[in-house]
Structure formats: C-alpha cells, structure tokens
Chain A
C-alpha cells in the first residue's frame, strides 16, 4: 500500500505548490506558475486515485476503515489531537471530487486568468485551498477537521477578495469571513461539548463509543447532549454551507474570480457543512430534534434561495442562489436520514454546478466581462461548446431524466416522501416546488443568455469562444454531468443502486420503506420520479413561454406583481434587515461605547493617566534636587533616622507604649 500508507502526500502536494508559487512565483512567467500549480494538483489527483484503488482493494473488503496516526499535534492530559488521516467510503467520494474537480478547475483557470494580474497569487491561494480542503476531508478527528475547516475559510476569504482594489470585493471577503465566524463559534462549542461528554474527538473512538454505548435516542423536543451538540455542529455547517440564516455571504462571494466561485463556492468548500453532518451522522441519528431542524432549515433554504434566483439578472448571482438552494437539498436529505442521497447529490452537484459556473465564466470571458444577462442573448451560435456544455449542466440540475441531477434529486425527494408522517409530505412538497423553480430559473438563464434577440452592442463586444484550456474541463465536466449519476442507478432501472451500497459501510444501507413491499416501493419511486420530471418540464415550458415566446411578458408580469418582484429582486431585504438589526447596532456600540468610552477613556485613559502621574510626581520631586549640599545631608540623616526607626520599631513600641500610658 504505497500511497495509502503515506496518505499525507495527497494534501501536502498542493501545499508545496502554494508555497513555491507564493514565495517565488512573483518573478516567474505564467508558464512556470502553471507548471507548479497544475503538477501539484495533478499528481495529488493521481495519488488520490491510487490511494482509493489501494483502499478498495486491500482495506474495504475487510469492512474496516483505513486510519493512520502520523504524528501527535496536541496532547494535554487525556486530550489528544493528532495529525491522523483516515479513509473510508465517504472520504473516497470527497477526495475524488475535491482533487478531480479541483484539478479540472486549475486547468480552466490557466486560461481564464491568463490576462489577470496577480497570476501567481491566484494559484498560490487556489493550491492552498486544495490543501486545506483535503485536510478537511481526510481528517480523522474533529480538531484536524477544524483546521481544514478554518483553512478553507481563509482561502475563501483571500480568493473572494482577490481583486482587493475593488471595495466591493474586499467587503465581500470580510463578510464571508465574519459570517463564517458565527457558524464556527457554534462548531467549536459543539466540539467542546462532545469532548466533555465522550473525552475524545477522534472519529473512530467517538463513533464506536456512541454506537456501543447504545445510548437512548433523544425524541422531539428533548435537549440532551446529542441534540445540543448536533445543533451546534449544524450551526457551523449553516455558516460554511450557506444555509438560513447564515447564507448571506455566498451570493456576495461571487465577487471573486469565476473559477473560485466554481471550485470553492459551488463544488467543494460549501459542501463541507454537508460533509460534517454526514460524517457525524451517528450523532445526528440519536437526536430527532436535530434531524428535524436540519431537514427544515435545508428545505426552507432550498425554497427561499430558489425564489430569489427567479429574478436575479447577474448570471453568477443566479448560480449562487441556485447553489444555496441545492445545498438546502443536501441538508434536506441528511435531515430525513438519507445521508447517502445527500452525499450523492453533493457529488453530482459538484459536477454540474462547477460546470455551470465554468460555463458562465466562459460566457463572461466571451462577453469581455459582462455579467448582466439583460445585455446578452443569442449567444448559442457564437460560442457553441460553451452553450452545449451549459445546456447539459442545466438539464442535469433541472433533473432531466438520465442526467446526473435526476437520480440524486429523486433519491432525496423519495427519501423525504417516505420518511413518514405529514412532515415528510410537506418536505416533499416544498422540495418539489423548489425543483419546479430550479428548472424555471435555470432555463430562464439559458434562454436569456443564449437565445432570443441579441441585446449587446456588437461593435463594443467582440464575442469569441474561449481557448481549449477552458473548454476541455467544460467537456469533461459535461460528460460527468451526464453519466455521473449512473453510479447510482436505482434498482427499478435495473441498476443495483451501487452508490448507496458503496456508502453502506459508512451509513448503513437504507432499509425497506416501512409498510411497503419492495415492489410497491419501486412503483412509488418510479411515480415520484415521473412527478419530478413533469414538474421540471413545467418549469421549462414556463421559462420557454415567458422568455422566448413572449419576450415582453416578464416585464409586464414584474409590473403587475410589483410588490413580490421587488421583494425577490432585493433578496427579501435580508441584507438590509441584518444591517439594521445587527450591523448598525454593533457599529454604533463599537463607535460610541467600545471606541469612545472603553478604548479612549478607560484603556488609553489608564495608560496616559499613569504616564501623566509619573510626570507630575517627577515635576514636584525634582525641586528637591537643589544642588545645595546641606539639604542633601539633611536627607541622608532623615533617611538614616527613618531606617533606624523602622528597624527598631518593634523594640521601641513597648517603650513608647509605656510612655503614652
């Protein structure tokens, strides 16, 4: 087991690439920077493939997970956090997605960023991100996972603010960082609680302990250790994976270069929250409340973000809200206990959403930096490869049959429907509505961008297809968007649902649906799939009718539904609400209390006061240095007397006492 025993090499290579490019890249030509960045991620990807092969050949058949402790990092009392890496089936999926999609996006970036300043900086950051993301998914304990967790946050901040001379970009970076801090606060508290309860943060030990102890499940409304710990962890996941109410940073994160949006803010980093929930599934399964919260938040976010996505005009903003919405889907799956379906959607989403962003980047590239869809249109003839790949990704996300998104979305909707009770049906209904909206806004994007009348000035914009360094990754991702779902052909299509079986050692295979025979379950799944396809088709036709048949209609509609339209267009005024409720009071508090009172008055006041006091004392005392030798002599005598009195005071006391008496 060549690579598996040296698993550290997979994350280390991108770190080396980041270090080399970051330290020496400034003076290097783009080609040299490319070589370092691409080879580090490329070799890392190859190593990941080999490690996965070794894992599946030697370790997986034994039913074990691969786990290795490389060195101790922190040891204090009975607390140990080591640089321990592990590989199980869940890690396999994540590592391949991260290195594979990451490598493709690196290739794409060499074309996209070719004419940008700070070329070496961009790749140094991107490689740094790869390093932290790999640490995150390979970590074998919560502490090391948290290192990756914070590290990807840092890289995300650096890359969102890549064009830091633009104030909006710098602000967006800060916003992302600060909003994530709120979530991380919860994540840390969750870790502390877990450590206090179980005395370990190591995945293997912790989950085995939880599993073996056979602790009672905490029902609805019971706030025991599991519920509180899970809710705290989920708070961190909400921040990282942009769920209500902490999603606000993700749309703003589109200020970063498009490959960054594709890699970090669509395919990998934002799914870290889903990964953590899936990784901690044994804890979540012990708490009904936590699961219901996860499902509800996910479901609500999915619908909420989808509605905003309906009216956005910036091509990347639409995709950003779509990402938030799809992440909601993944949490919905986790919340109903279908962790496998959630991870499956995570994977297919990584393919098609990365593709959508990269294709959008190609469109922006073609339009010379234009992002507003109202100033596009009719591009399908001019940039054919981009058009076809983007169409494939759209079909995949909308859930067209046999595309990747179709299987993963159906798996989630089916799980929600069969979870039982009215709650499940509500979740299903909202999920279905979201699917409808998704289909609508994605085809709206396609029609506005690629079809209809040309709405840009041909004299100013020279539309041109992107170079092959950019189109190559698009084509590969398009292939994955079509076939990526076939790993999980559900059994009614004749497949063995191999994805769920593959993840079974981690999540325990989904059992029979209660009260349904296998055949009935298959019929139900088929029926639900039919409904979903129908819904997606409705979305398609509405978009088709509104944006191609009746181009004037959307504006009329916007006018007649002015209230709803402006609310959606302004994103439900959530940013304004946060600004009014949180940001401005905090700024006021900082300004008037923390700064003007605490800092200026109390802290500076104390320091300056001591200094002024010393000056004043010195000013007074210096007059005793008169230069008059006799006065010095007096001081010597007085001092000697004082010392004598102090030394002999205990002896003198009774003498004086008797005198006074």
Chain B
C-alpha cells in the first residue's frame, strides 16, 4: 500500500501548482482550470485521509466537492463566455471594472 504522505505530498504539489497558475496566468480559462486543479488536489488529500483513517467521511466530502465544482464550472463558464463576448478577449487584465 502506498503510504499516506505520498498522496499528501502529491496533493500539496498539485495545489501549489494550481495556486501559482491561479496567480500567474492571464487567460481566464487557464485560471479556471487552475482552480479546478486546486479543488482536485484537495479531493486527493481527502481521499488519502479517508483511506488512512478507514472512515468514509472524506469520500463523502469529495462527492460534495465534485458536485459543487460541477455547479461552479457551469456558472463560471457562463461568466467566461459572456466576458469573452463583451470584451472580445480572454485576458484577465482587461476585466478591471472593479477598479476604484
């Protein structure tokens, strides 16, 4: 059996990659994907703990996360499409209406 910390290290690496991409990337779709990556990194950690502890709580949580992520993806992609239509661009730098 693979030891739990391996999963956790992999999860941390994936989460870190997601976080860095989230900050660094300019394309909205890429940013969106990095968010998904972070979510799934967390899912991996949950499943790993679930296996290590022998309890089902973590797996239940993962199902919830997948459902929420699906809903979020639907809404998020809708927003992205509208943004793309309005601005003719997917560059996050150009979405700056929240400026003071």
Contact = CB atoms under 8 A, between A and B. Distances in A.
B81 interface: no
B75 interface: no
B22 A627 contact: no
Interface string A628-661: 1110011001000000000000000000000000
Interface stretch (B39-47, B56-64, B66-74, B89-97): B89-97
A626 to B, nearest CB: 6
A31 interface: no
A622 interface: yes
Q: How large is the interface on A (under 10, 10 to 19, 20 to 34, 35 or more residues)?
A: 10 to 19
A422 interface: no
B33 interface: no
Contact of A625 (B22, B31, B95, B100): B100
A627 B98 contact: yes
Contacts of B26: 630
Contacts, number: 30
B99 to A, nearest CB: 3
B99 A625 contact: yes
A319 B20 CA distance: 97
Contacts of A633: 22-23, 31
Contacts of B65: none
Contact of B96 (A622, A628, A637): A628
Interface in A83-115: none
B92 A626 contact: no
A634 B23 CA distance: 6
A616 B58 CA distance: 47
Contacts of B92: 629-630
- Main SS of chain A's interface residues? helix
Given A630-B26, A633-B23, A637-B23, A625 B98 contact: yes
Contacts of B93: 628, 630
Contact of A637 (B19, B97, B98, B100): B19
Contacts of B95: 629
Contacts of B99: 625-628
A627 B100 contact: yes
Interface in A589-630: 622, 625-630
Contacts of B19: 637
Interface in A40-83: none
Contacts of A634: 23
Interface in B1-43: 19, 22-23, 26, 31
Interface string A576-590: 000000000000000
Nearest to A624: B100
Contacts of B31: 633
Nearest to A623: B100
A34 B49 CA distance: 94
A637 B34 CA distance: 13
A626 B22 contact: no
Nearest to B22: A633
A518 to B, nearest CB: 103
A622 B100 CA distance: 8
Contacts of B96: 626-629
20 contacts: A625-B98, A625-B100, A626-B96, A626-B99, A626-B100, A627-B98, A628-B93, A628-B96, A628-B99, A629-B92, A629-B95, A629-B98, A630-B23, A630-B93, A633-B23, A633-B31, A634-B23, A637-B19, A637-B22, A637-B23
Interface of B: 19, 22-23, 26, 31, 92-93, 95-100
Given A625-B100, A627-B99, A637-B23, 18 more contacts: A622-B100, A627-B96, A627-B97, A627-B98, A627-B100, A628-B93, A628-B96, A628-B99, A629-B92, A629-B98, A630-B23, A630-B26, A630-B92, A633-B22, A633-B23, A634-B23, A637-B19, A637-B22
Pairs A-B, 4 closest by C-beta atoms: A627-B99, A627-B96, A627-B98, A625-B100
